Amino acid sequence: MKCPFCGHTETPVSETRVSEDGDFIRRRRQCGACAKRFTTYERPEVNFPAIVKKDGRRIDFERVKLLASMNLALRKRPVSTDQIDSAIERIEEKLLNLGLREVSSAKIGELVMRELKKLDKVAYVRFASVYRSFEDIDEFRTLVEEVRG
């Protein structure tokens, strides 16, 4: 594995851990040249369903995009990266278990909202307010009351 900091090719593994559910392996590495540490993840390659956008376009599922949208909602919130990774894994597992070749972006949005609601109510409200494109304050108020109650 090449060092992401200096590009050196000798990065021995210093620690290996299997995730709780056994779905991936986390490896801590240290560069032999610059001595910086970094983490790599090893997971099986699987075929996720294509994502059908609102305008009908079809795009490939990208974990990175899912992570980015969740990180945006969770910005400055007290949620660990391990919790976020676990939530993303649950979303990916649900997508695979659907057994479909295509899934709507709306379905993914609902899965994300479900996970955010469990992780952090503020992040859930942030994501839902953008995802649902509220037109007025009453819709937003209804969402906040739903979360409170």
What pLDDT, on a 0 to 100 scale, did the predictor assign at position 99?
Answer: 86
Q: Are 26 and 19 in contact (CB under 8 A)?
A: yes
The answer on pLDDT for 24 being more than 90 is no
Domain residue ranges in the chain? 1-44, 46-148
What proportion of the chain, given as a percentage, has pLDDT over 90? 68
The answer on pLDDT for 104 being more than 90 is yes
What pLDDT, on a 0 to 100 scale, did the predictor assign at position 43?
Answer: 83
Nearest Cα residue to 86 out of 4, 14, 21 = 21
What pLDDT, on a 0 to 100 scale, did the predictor assign at position 102?
Answer: 95
The owner of tokens 């990208």 is 62
DSSP classification of residue 129: H
Beta strands in the chain (DSSP E): 13-18, 25-30, 37-42, 50-52, 58-59, 102-104
Residues 54, 51: Cα–Cα separation, whole Å: 10
